[in-house]
Amino acid sequence: MAVCGVTAWRGRDEEKLAAGAILADWALSVFVARSTPSQDTQWGVLLVDTAQFAVLLWIAMRSTRFWPLTVSAFALLQLVTHLAHAADPTVTGWSYFTAELIWSYMLLLTVGYGAWTAPYHLVAATWPTEEEPGAAE
């Protein structure tokens, strides 16, 4: 919730959309995860995470900044963790959820970084640029 607050305060549209996608993923995952035993692969959460990845990848493809690429990579790692647990069910539920938790925190930290630095990026984008020598000739 702190990252969402920072995003609302300092973020631009892409940071707010990313934070909204993460918040929606969190809320839907809590709802969907209740239907699956905790040690099994969370197929419903995988679907919700896939939708989140699609939104974050869309932001990354349209953005001029680098943080959306990083947040998309962490979202992809979430998906790979689900698929790795499905491929090898001997992986314990503890390690499965720990990995998911780590990727979730990295998503939040990356969006928080993007929101915190958004005003600086906006100022840098509006600085006047020097004309190239000989351009007026």
| pLDDT tens profile 24-55 | 999 998 888 777 666 777 888 899 999 999 99
Q: How far is CA 69 from CA 12, 36, 77, in A?
A: 16, 31, 12
Q: Give the pLDDT confidence score for residue 136 in this predicted structure.
A: 54
Res. 92 pLDDT band, cuts 50 70 90: confident
| Alpha helices in 11-132, H assignment, sequence order | 13-33, 43-62, 67-87, 93-125
Instruction: Give the integer Cα–Cα distance in Å for 83 and 116.
Output: 33
Q: Which three-class secondary structure state does DSSP give residue 6?
A: helix
Q: Give the pLDDT confidence score for residue 137 in this predicted structure.
A: 52
* Structure letter (DSSP) for residue 129: P
DSSP H or E segment with residue 34: none
> CA 16: distance to chain centroid?
11
Tokens encoding 98: 């720990």
